[in-house]
């Protein structure tokens, strides 16, 4: 193992630590604001984000097992982006529409979670220091993840881009425009890394997760510390992620 490869393999530890710090920030803000739904969902999302990278650290540095890979796939592929997207839905949409979208999407996430947690595992596909979805015995379960992650991409990345474009056009909220653009890019990077992991380059996932979370948190801070908008808006930034 080269020095560079060894450095990359330690990145999930940093991502886990940043996830924990970000989670505490979200919990404090949510507690001050009577636990609004969007912050609760964002907190759940950051928790599972950190759980996934914690398991990556364990697998990469301590050795892999079938159980660790099962849990890693559940935390990352199934729950890595969906809670963050659902939080964005509650921030962007009217409450009734947010409830409807969650009612329609959550059952698929629950079914996929149960299937991942009970599926037989393929021991022959286990790699000693690399997590891989190839160990999932019921490979048809993996067909659910594009729908879950596609939903997450539409509302997390798409919602942030929509908000950013609105504030760039308004011209009076550059911090929020920049912050939501960072959130969009941050939401995209883990997906790119996940694609690299499927191609066997799991290190690309480690880099994408770390860079993505950092950008999401920076974008969040830009939005929360920006001056209040001139008028009420229902975008991510208008409510300042609060």
SS3 of the chain: the string is CCHHHHHHHCHHHHHHHHHHHHHHHHHHHHHHCCCCHHHHHHHHHHHHHHHHHHHHHHHHHHCCCHHHHHHHHHHHHHCCCHHHHHHHHHHHCCHHHHHHHHHHHHHHHHHHHHHHHHCCECHHHCECCECCHHHECCHHHHHCHHHHHHHHHHHHHHHHHHHHHHHHHHCCCHHHHHHHHHHHHHHHHHHHHHHHHHCCCHHHHHHHHHHHHHHHHHHHHHHHCCCCCCCCCCCCCCCCCC
Q: Please give the CATH number for the structural domain made up of 3-224.
A: 1.20.1070.10
Q: How many beta carbons lie within 10 A of that of residue 44, not counting itself?
A: 18
User: Low-confidence residues of the chain, pLDDT below 70?
Assistant: 1-5, 172, 226-242
Tens-digit pLDDT profile for residues 120-157: 999 999 988 888 888 999 999 999 999 998 999 998 89
Q: Tell me, what's the pLDDT at 180?
A: 86
Q: Tell me, what's the pLDDT at 131?
A: 86
Model pTM?
0.87
Q: Tell me, what's the pLDDT at 117?
A: 96
Q: Tell me, what's the pLDDT at 9?
A: 84
Q: Tell me, what's the pLDDT at 2?
A: 40
Q: Tell me, what's the pLDDT at 227?
A: 64
């Amino acid at each position: 193992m080269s020095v560079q490869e060894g450095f990359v393999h330690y990145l999930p530890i940093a991502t886990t630590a940043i996830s924990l710090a970000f989670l505490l920030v979200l919990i404090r803000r949510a507690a001050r604001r009577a636990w609004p739904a969007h912050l609760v969902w964002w907190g759940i999302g950051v928790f599972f984000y950190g759980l996934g990278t914690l398991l990556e650290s364990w697998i990469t540095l301590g050795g892999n097992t079938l159980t660790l890979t099962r849990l890693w796939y559940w935390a990352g592929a199934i729950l890595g982006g969906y809670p963050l997207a659902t939080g964005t839905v509650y921030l962007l949409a009217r409450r009734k529409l947010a409830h409807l979208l969650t009612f329609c999407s959550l059952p698929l996430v629950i079914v996929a979670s149960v299937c991942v947690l009970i599926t037989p595992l393929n021991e022959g596909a286990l790699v000693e220091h690399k997590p891989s979805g190839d160990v999932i015995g019921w490979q048809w379960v993996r067909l659910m993840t594009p729908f879950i992650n596609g939903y997450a991409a539409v509302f997390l990345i798409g919602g942030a881009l929509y908000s950013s474009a609105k504030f760039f056009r308004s011209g009076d909220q550059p911090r929020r425009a920049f912050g939501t653009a960072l959130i969009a890019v941050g939401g995209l990077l883990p997906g790119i890394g996940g694609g690299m992991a499927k191609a066997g380059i799991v290190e690309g996932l480690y880099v994408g997760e770390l860079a993505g979370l950092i950008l999401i948190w920076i974008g969040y801070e830009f939005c929360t510390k920006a001056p209040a908008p001139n008028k009420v808006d229902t975008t991510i930034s208008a409510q300042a992620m609060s």
